[in-house]
Chain A
Amino acid sequence: MLQCDFQFQYAEFNLKVKLQMQKQLLGIMGASGSGKSTFLKNITGLLQPQQGSILLNQQCVFDDQKKINLPMHKRRIALVFQNAWLFPHMNVKQNLKYAENLCPDQNKKFSFDQIVDLLQLKPLLQRASYQLSGGEAQRISIGRALLSSPDLLLLDEPLTGLDYKLKDQILPFLNSVKLETQLPMIYVTHHADELAYLNAQVVYMDQGSITEIPKTH
């Protein structure tokens, strides 16, 4: 699970977070510009905090005092964006295999077939990324992230931009991922109903700070 206590400043914006994940799924809500995505970027290593520490499963990935700053590709933290960002020069199977092949065999948590079954991707495997609907692309993006066998999965507004019908299709998949993989996840969204559905520990971010005491549903 994730434990972090850090500060990140960029121009006038100051992000100050002290947080400990208590449940497998941590939901972060907050207005646009409140710092949710900046928080995720600090966790993944895309941005570097000025002060503090970030621990994942008791292993330090960042500590300014100890001068530890694991590069992004060594943190084992997968990121799913609002846009699926499938690699356009690869078909669906190649996208999934790309992630699977990046993980050493001894660290693999899920098999290719397991993820394909879980997210019902089999009929899509030979398709090019431009032949997919938004919902299908997002399912593949989630599958690809899982196949990299991360220790933490970050979902940055993964359902934003999808219509309600598609959301209703994908949320059960996310719930299956949560229940069947037991993988720690952080889910950023504007929609409380998504977090309620997924039974997440919810925190609120406001102007770069976690303003409410973490509460559980």
Chain B
Amino acid sequence: MLSSEEWSALYLSVKVGFFATLFCLPFAIMLAWILARYQFRLKFVVEALLQMPMVLPPVVLGYLLLILFGANGWIGQYLNQLGIQLAFNWKGAVLASMIVAFPLMVQPIRLSFQMINQQLEQVAGSLGASPVRVFSSISLPLALPGILIGSILCFSRSLGEFGATITFVGNIPDETRTIPIAIYSLIQQPDGEQGAMRLVILSILVAFGALIANAYILQNYQRKLGGKDAAM
């Protein structure tokens, strides 16, 4: 069975992944909607910025987070005065995961919005639905497959997040030692191979479970729509 340290790493990873996904979601939906439905002059800049975390080395992101949100960082010093500490804290691990996983969440949601036939939204508008109501009652439910896929991708990426996290929040047992960091710690120890292998298997199981849940929910939703192209 798992040791208390391994349980702690598992619990922390799931907690970080859950909150990273939860906090990413509203921003990802908003940005995905804007990118799917609006044309504006600096759109290409927004798109490039969105993709930055995908191409930057994670350690660079972690270091930038430290500069911005460290105890004496540009933003961190003010947060510190409010009693909010992100560096070397599990909440910082959530922030690091959010930054790294955000582009992965935005893309499938954006695609889902793009694939909704806008005549459905026009019909709802002509029936008297305000733009906010059209969005909440038509666009958002029809984009649900993309939102689910984006959430699972974000959660899975958060589970695997290592470079930015260890740079920004360190490797503190029970506080910031998530599964990847625990595996890294174990393989640095002469007798840590077995423990590392257990965590590797655990990572595979958690990731596979998340993907299975995702596929199951998607399949049921598509059945409800009468096939994958029903809303498009």
Alpha-carbon distance A73/B119, docked complex (angstroms): 14
Contact A87 B227 (CB under 8 A): no
Residue of B nearest to A141 (CB): B123
Q: By the criterion of a CB under 8 Å from any partner CB, how many residues of chain B are at the interface?
A: 26
A88 touches which of B128, B131, B137, B142 (Cβ 8 Å): B142
Per-position 1/0 for B88-107, Cβ under 8 A of A: 00000000000000000000
Complex Cα spacing A130 to B230, Å: 8
Query: SS class of chain B's interface: helix, strand, loop or mixed?
Result: helix
* A87/B225 in contact, CB under 8 A: no
Within 8 A of A (CB), among B99-150: 117, 119-120, 122-131, 133-134, 137-138, 141-142, 144
Chain A window 112-131, contacts with chain B (Cβ cutoff 8 Å), 1 for yes, 0 for no: 00000000000000001111
Report yes or no: B137 in contact with A98, Cβ–Cβ below 8 A: yes
Contacting A at CB under 8 A, from B130-186, are 130-131, 133-134, 137-138, 141-142, 144
Evaluate whether A129 and B226 lie within 8 angstroms (CB atoms) in the complex, with A78-B127, A98-B127 already known: yes
Residue B41 at the chain A interface, CB threshold 8 Å: no
**Hey, what's the 0/1 contact readout for B48-76 against A, CB within 8 Å counting as 1?**
00000000000000000000000000000
Question: Are the C-beta atoms of A87 and B128 separated by less than 8 Å?
Answer: no
User: Which residues of chain B are within 8 angstroms of A87 by Cβ–Cβ distance?
Assistant: 120, 124, 138
Tier of interface size on chain A: 20 to 34
One digit per residue, 1 when the CB lies within 8 angstroms of any chain B CB and 0 when it does not, for chain A 130-148 equals: 1100000000000011001
The 8 Å CB contact of A102, one of B117, B120, B128, B231, is B128
Identify the closest chain B residue to A44 (Cβ). Answer: B126
Closest A residue by C-beta to B141: A89
CA A129 to CA B130, docked complex, whole Å: 23
Q: Which of B126, B133, B144 contacts A78 (CB 8 A)?
A: B126
Q: CA A129 – CA B224 in complex, angstroms?
A: 10
Of the listed residues B124, B133, B225, B226, the one surrounded by the most CB atoms of chain A closer than 10 A to its CB is: B124
- A44-B126, A85-B120 known; 13 other A-B pairs, CB under 8 Å? A71-B131, A72-B122, A73-B129, A73-B130, A76-B128, A83-B119, A87-B124, A87-B138, A88-B142, A89-B144, A98-B127, A102-B133, A129-B230
CB pairs A–B below 8 angstroms (13 shown): A44-B126, A46-B122, A72-B122, A73-B125, A73-B133, A76-B128, A81-B123, A88-B231, A99-B127, A102-B129, A129-B230, A148-B127, A154-B126
Which residue numbers of B lie inside 8 Å of A, CB to CB? 117, 119-120, 122-131, 133-134, 137-138, 141-142, 144, 224-227, 230-231
Which chain A residues have a beta carbon within 8 Å of chain B's beta carbons?
A: 44, 46, 71-74, 76-79, 81, 83, 85, 87-89, 98-99, 102-103, 128-131, 144-145, 148, 154
